[in-house]
């Protein structure tokens, strides 16, 4: 977490620990903290304060839109499961294929939107596995022309560190965010809804968030989220250059030292903090084990179902060969990443791949 986000939360566990729905002065102070956080969040996200709904996480924000709009649902095959699973649950969804970079196929999106019963379309701004950036202006142009009745939602959970969301906000009706993706606390997120967009609440009860999301506010979490988001926005331009240079150093080291490394998405089509490669002839389960032993924390985004390793649904949508996809390695960089982290990670990966290929573990 960002240090300032942690510090901003602390009073709300102590002297400011009051329920903002109450009526005494401590409650009013807590409510004011939420109002200020809402103003800050709205400013960074390019929406009106009344459009900001605080949720418990990005998953809840996604689920709220996908469950709360009637009519058919359309999404891309590379979406996070927080979008894919509620669409599967509805049973009326159309999952549209992607191009080789994991971005939704616009012609197939137009075909899916031609059904007049479509009520909601969801296309992620940045892919969480491979880091591909969607062309949201092109997506919005298709949806507005072919399905003007539909609510256009974007899962922008992975966006704030890399993309100025103010450019995305006017294109869509709804956006999802999660604080732990930009140096805030886990367990707090945001859903934005443009004025006039009707979405049934997922959680009903005490009527908080103007009846759109009931439940006692996570005051400390909301304050920490806002602090982290403001700092992320302030630092974005400088961090983009610094982190892209570190990412390039890392990927160049892997490509230069290991045979058969494929960069899944070209660097100019993805966010700076994402280093995603597939290493041929290596099973990522074994690789991740060796990396973990050497204190390099990575992921592969493959799931082990009924004993059989399944490659990621994102790589499958991109058309990546199954064998190669089983060698997927995802290393991500952020505000705390340093040059020595990157150099050490590269050394450890090179060593581990060498050991696996030589059959020494």
Catalytic residues: 304
- Shorter beta-carbon distance to ligand PLP: residue 124 or 349: 124
Q: Is 134 in the site for ligand PLP (CB under 6 A)?
A: no
Nearest-approach distance from CB 332 to ligand PLP, in angstroms = 10
Size of residue set near ligand PLP by CB under 6 A: 13
The CB-nearest residue to ligand PLP is 58
Token pair recorded at residue 105: 């196929």
Instruction: Indicate the DSSP class of residue 132.
Output: B
- Shorter beta-carbon distance to ligand PLP: residue 82 or 353: 82
Q: Which stretch binds ligand PLP (CB under 6 A): 5-13, 54-62, 138-146, 190-198?
A: 54-62
Nearest-approach distance from CB 85 to ligand PLP, in angstroms = 11
Q: Is 122 in the site for ligand PLP (CB under 6 A)?
A: no
Q: Is 312 in the site for ligand PLP (CB under 6 A)?
A: no
Q: Give CA–CA dist 180/184, Å, rounded.
A: 5
Instruction: Say what the alpha-carbon torsion angle 70, 72, 73, 77 is, to the nearest 10 degrees.
Output: 160
Instruction: Say what the alpha-carbon torsion angle 75, 81, 85, 86 is, to the nearest 10 degrees.
Output: -70
Nearest-approach distance from CB 309 to ligand PLP, in angstroms = 21
Instruction: Indicate the DSSP class of residue 114.
Output: T
- Shorter beta-carbon distance to ligand PLP: residue 86 or 327: 86
- Taking CB under 6 A as the criterion, the residue among 1, 57, 228, 318 binding ligand PLP is 57
Token pair recorded at residue 317: 């949508």
Maximum CA extent, the chain: 69
DSSP 3-state percent helix, strand, coil across the chain (nearest 5)? 45, 15, 35
207: left (phi over 0), alpha (psi -120 to 50) or beta: left
- Taking CB under 6 A as the criterion, the residue among 178, 227, 232, 264 binding ligand PLP is 178
Q: Which residues bind ligand PLP (CB under 6 A)?
A: 57-59, 62, 80, 82, 124, 128, 155, 157-158, 178, 189
């Amino acid at each position: 977490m960002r240090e300032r986000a942690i510090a901003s939360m602390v009073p709300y566990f102590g002297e400011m620990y009051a329920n903002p729905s109450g009526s005494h002065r401590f409650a009013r102070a807590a409510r004011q903290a939420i109002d200020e956080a809402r103003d800050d969040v709205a400013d960074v996200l390019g929406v009106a304060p009344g459009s900001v709904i605080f949720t418990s996480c990005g998953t809840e924000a996604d689920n709220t839109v996908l469950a709360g709009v009637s009519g058919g649902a359309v999404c891309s095959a590379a979406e996070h499961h927080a979008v894919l699973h509620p669409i599967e649950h509805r049973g009326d969804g159309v999952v549209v294929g992607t191009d080789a970079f994991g971005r939704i196929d616009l012609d197939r999106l137009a075909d899916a939107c031609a059904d007049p019963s479509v009520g909601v379309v969801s296309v992620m701004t940045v892919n969480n596995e491979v880091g591909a950036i969607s062309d949201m202006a092109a997506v919005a142009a298709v949806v507005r022309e072919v399905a003007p009745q539909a609510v256009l939602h974007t899962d922008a959970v992975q966006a704030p560190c890399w993309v100025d969301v103010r450019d995305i906000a006017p294109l869509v009706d709804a956006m999802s965010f999660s604080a732990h993706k930009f140096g805030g606390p886990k367990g707090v997120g945001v859903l934005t809804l443009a004025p006039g967009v009707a979405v049934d609440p997922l959680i009903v009860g005490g009527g908080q968030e103007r009846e759109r999301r009931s439940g006692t506010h996570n005051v400390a979490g909301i304050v920490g989220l806002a602090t982290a988001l403001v700092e992320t926005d302030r630092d974005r331009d400088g961090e983009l250059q610094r982190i892209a240079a570190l990412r390039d150093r890392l990927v160049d080291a892997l490509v230069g030292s290991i045979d058969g490394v494929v960069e899944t998405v070209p660097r100019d089509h993805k966010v700076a903090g994402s280093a995603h490669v597939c290493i041929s002839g290596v099973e990522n389960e074994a690789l991740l084990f060796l990396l973990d032993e050497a204190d390099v924390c990575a992921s592969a985004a493959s799931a082990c179902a009924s004993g059989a390793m399944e490659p990621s649904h994102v790589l499958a949508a991109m058309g990546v060969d199954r064998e190669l996809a089983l060698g997927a390695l995802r290393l991500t960089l952020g505000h705390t990443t340093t040059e020595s982290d990157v150099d050490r990670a590269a050394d450890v990966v090179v060593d581990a791949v060498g050991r696996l290929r030589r059959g020494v573990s």
